[in-house]
Amino acid sequence: MKEDHAMTQTFVDLDVRPILLNGGEPFSKIMEAVERLAPDEGLRLYATFKPLPLFQVLGAKGFSPEAREIEGGDWEVLFHRTGEQPQAQEAPGEGAAHDDSGWPEPVQLLDNRDLDPPEPMVRILAALETMASGAVLCALLDREPVFLFPELEKRGHAWQCGPDADAGTYRLLVRVGG
């Protein structure tokens, strides 16, 4: 660990590339690592893609990212403590509509199972851009899309997500806001 920022800060290394390459979701491991950081520590994350949604999630916890592409198209991201008070953050989906009574039937269905991150999130956000306000999208996913929730909130969309009747599938409903 070395000094990498204006204020003295050491970094705890976390390599989530093996999790991603095996089709897993590393979000819980990342959040566990962040919770264990000492006040003078930041996080050095290694991933197979630039984890843009994580920038906002950890930004709300008082971290700023410094990302650079490394060998093989992988990414190293240093999450520096900013010294700012972390914002209170709701759990994923909190504040979004969870009761779909009164919601129209979905006008579009996306089957995003068997896709590697971040492709499901990219496809969902792209589809939402083409939909009318109030329209509903249904997406099927292999895992809970925790990185997607802050993006949906930022864009003013309501959503609900939970395990589908099909074991291992998450069903996400998004009502276009705005």
**Which residues of the chain are modeled with pLDDT < 50?**
1-6, 87-99
Query: 14 and 77: one domain?
Result: yes
Of 81, 98, 132, the one marking the end of a domain is 81
**32 is written with which tokens?**
């566990």
pLDDT of 5: 43
Query: Residue 5 falls within a domain, yes or no?
Result: no
Give the range of the structural domain holding residue 152, as residue numbers without chain letter: 108-175
pLDDT of 101: 58
Q: Residue 159: which CATH number?
A: 3.30.110.40
By DSSP bridging, strand 158-163 and strand 10-15 are unpaired
| CA angle 40–45–50, rounded 5-degree value | 130
pLDDT of 178: 66
Query: 118 and 76: one domain?
Result: no
pLDDT of 28: 81
Considering the entire predicted model, what is its pTM? Answer: 0.52
Chain segment 80-96, per-residue pLDDT in tens: 998 765 544 343 443 34
Query: 125 and 169: one domain?
Result: yes
pLDDT of 170: 85
Query: 116 and 74: one domain?
Result: no
Query: Residue 100 falls within a domain, yes or no?
Result: no
Query: Residue 98 falls within a domain, yes or no?
Result: no
Query: 19 and 77: one domain?
Result: yes
First to last CA, the chain: 46
Cβ atoms of 133 and 161 within 8 Å: the answer is: no
Number of domains in the chain: 2
Query: Residue 32 falls within a domain, yes or no?
Result: yes
